[in-house]
Amino acid sequence: MTNKILIKDAIIFTCNENDEVYTKSNLLIKDSKIEAIECNLKNINLEEFDKIIEAQEMAVIPGIINSHTHVAGAMFRGLIDEGQKGLGLYNIGFPMEKLLTEEELYWLFLIGIAEVIKTGVTLVNDFYYQMDIFAEIVKKIGVRAIISDTLYDTDMTKLIDGQYERDYQAGENRLQKSVDIIEKWQDKSSLINFRIGPHATDTCSKRLLENAKKEANRMDVGLHMHCAQSKIEVGHIKKEHNKTPIKYLEEIGLLKDNILLAHCHYMGEADWDIMKEHDVSYAHCPIVYAKNGSQYPKLKYALDNDIKTGFGTDWIRMEPWDGMRTAINILRSIERNPDIMGGRQVLKLNTIKAAEALSHEEKIGSIEIGKKADLALIDMNKPHLQPFYGNPSGLVYYVNGNDVDTVIIDGRIIMQNRKLLTINEKQILKNIKKFIPVWIKRAEKLGVNFPNYKTR
C-alpha cells in the first residue's frame, strides 16, 4: 500500500552538492523516498496524500546522523561530569557498565533512543554491549542504525591502575557473539546495518584485532572503534609496541576504507596522514573533549586534508546541536580565526558528510529526489529563533533539540508535535527512575559523593 506525505510551504535545506535552499517549497514523499521538491502545488492533487504537514514556520533538514554514540550512557549523567580529573570513564564508567543487567540496558537503550530522536537524529552509529537487545529496540521503533557489539579481552576495570590482564578466550567469545548477532539480524530490517566493534587499540589484544578484521572481511562489514582516546591508551601502545595507536593499527593491517575511528585526541599530523592514506573515516565528538579537558583533536587538519568526517555525540548527553556550536567555538578559539568553520559546513558534517563517513551517502544525508526520506522539521516560530533569515547560521547557532517538531525516518513519521509515536515516553521515564537507587549505591562504592540532602 502506497503512503504519501506532503510537507507544505517549508524552507528546505538540502545539504546537497550545491547547498541549495528552497523557500516556501513543498516536499513530496512517496513510501520511503523523496519523490519531488515543488515550489507550487498547481498541478498537485492534495487528496492523493495520506498526510499533509503544514510547515509554514518550519525548516526542513536531512535527518541528523550521529556518527559515534553510546545511547545507553545516559546512566552516567551527574556521576562523572566532575571530580574525576577527566578519568571518569576509567574510574566510574567501566566498573558500572560491567554490572548492568539486561533489564537495565533495555531501558537505557530506550531512553537514549528517545533522546536522540527528539533532537532530530535519524541514524545512530552505536557501539555498546548486548547489542542484540538494541537491534530489537531500533527495529521496533523504526530508527536507522549501524550497530557494533563491543569487543575486548582486557579487564577494563583495572586499566586505571595500569593493569592489562588479558583473557583471550573471553575476547574470542565476544567476537563470536558479535558474529552471531550480525548473522541473526542482517536481513531482518532494511534500516539496520552492522559493524564489528573492537573497543580500542589497548583493550583488545593483537590477536583479537586481527581476528575481528578477518570476520569483518568475511561478512563484508565495516569496523568501528575508538583510537587514541586517552593518554592511558597511547602510553600503553607506546610501551608495548613503540608506536602510536594509528601506526600500530596500520602495522597489523586493520586500516581500510570501511573502518571508522572515533575521537583520535592524542594524534599528531603524521597519524592523520596515515588515516588519509588508507581512506579511514573519522567520528568527531566535540562536547566530550571540551568537558573532559582533553587535548582537542586536529579537526582542522582532518578537514583540510579531506579525511571523511562525521560528527557524533559519544555518550551521556546526546545533543548534536550543542556539539555543532562547541566545535565552531573551540576551533575558532584555537585558530584565533572568527571565520573558520561556518554553520553551513557544520550542518553538513552532521548530515551528508557523516553519511559519507559511514558509506551511506547514496541513500541518506541530503534532501534529493530518490533518496530516503529521513528528515527533521524544526519549529522556527520561537523567540530565540526569530528573526530567521533563512541562512544555515540561523539554525546552527541557535537551534536546540527541543526545537525539533517532527522526525521522519524512511518515510514514516516517528515524532510529530514533539510527541514520539513509536515509543511510550512516560513508561520509559518511569522505568528508568526505578533504577536510580541501584545506580547511586554502585556509584557510592566507587567513590562518587552525593549531597547530604535534608528535608523540612
pTM, to two decimals: 0.96
State the average pLDDT over residues 301-321: 95
Q: What is the DSSP string of 176-215?
A: HHHHHHHHHHTTT-TTEEEEEEE--TTTS-HHHHHHHHHH
β-pairing, 58-62 vs 375-379, is antiparallel
Contact 46, 52 (CB under 8 A): yes
Cα 33 to Cα 372: distance, rounded to the nearest angstrom: 4
φ, ψ (nearest 5 deg) of residue 147? -120, 130
Edge-first strand listing for the sheet containing 259-263: 309-311, 281-284, 259-263, 222-227, 192-198, 144-151, 121-128, 64-70, 314-315
Q: What single-letter DSSP state applies at residue 404?
A: E
**pLDDT value of position 84:** 66
Contact 316, 352 (CB under 8 A): no
**pLDDT value of position 80:** 83
Q: Which amino acid type is present at position 346?
A: V
Buried b (16+ CB within 10 A) or exposed e, 291-305: bbebebbbbebbbee
Contact 208, 178 (CB under 8 A): no
Model confidence band, residue 199 (pLDDT cutoffs 50, 70, 90): very high
Torsion angle, alpha carbons of 51, 379, 56, 62, to 10: -70
Q: What single-letter DSSP state applies at residue 84?
A: S
pLDDT 10s digits, 84-96? 666 778 888 888 9
Distances in Å between the Cα of 254 and the Cα atoms of 217, 260, 343 are 10, 11, 34
Q: Which residues pair with 281 in a beta bridge?
A: 260
Q: Which residue matches cell numbers 587538519? A: 301
Model confidence band, residue 28 (pLDDT cutoffs 50, 70, 90): very high
What domains are there in the chain, each with its CATH number?
4-62+371-420 (2.30.40.10), 64-357 (3.20.20.140)
**pLDDT value of position 257:** 79
Average pLDDT, the chain: 94
State which H helix or E strand residue 328 sits in.
Answer: helix 320-335
Contact 122, 146 (CB under 8 A): no
**pLDDT value of position 350:** 98
First to last CA, the chain: 61
Q: Which residue matches cell numbers 509515536? A: 421
Whether pLDDT at 1 is above 90:
no
Closest CA to 327 of 313, 306, 308: 313
In angstroms, how far is CA 48 from the centroid of its own chain?
36
pLDDT 10s digits, 112-156? 999 999 999 999 999 999 999 999 999 999 999 999 999 999 988
pLDDT 10s digits, 412-456? 999 999 999 999 999 999 999 999 999 999 999 988 888 776 666
Closest CA to 435 of 114, 111, 141: 111
Distances in Å between the Cα of 302 and the Cα atoms of 275, 320, 336 are 9, 20, 18
In angstroms, how far is CA 1 from the centroid of its own chain?
32
Contact 29, 5 (CB under 8 A): yes
State which H helix or E strand residue 232 sits in.
Answer: helix 231-241
State the average pLDDT over residues 320-343: 95
**pLDDT value of position 247:** 97
pLDDT 10s digits, 42-78? 888 899 999 999 999 999 999 999 999 999 999 999 8
Cα 14 to Cα 366: distance, rounded to the nearest angstrom: 5
pLDDT 10s digits, 273-294? 999 999 999 999 999 888 888 8
State the average pLDDT over residues 155-175: 90
Cα 211 to Cα 172: distance, rounded to the nearest angstrom: 8
Q: What single-letter DSSP state applies at residue 118?
A: H
**pLDDT value of position 41:** 82
pLDDT 10s digits, 202-221? 999 999 999 999 999 999 99
State the average pLDDT over residues 341-369: 97
**pLDDT value of position 456:** 60
Model confidence band, residue 160 (pLDDT cutoffs 50, 70, 90): confident
β-pairing, 412-416 vs 404-409, is antiparallel
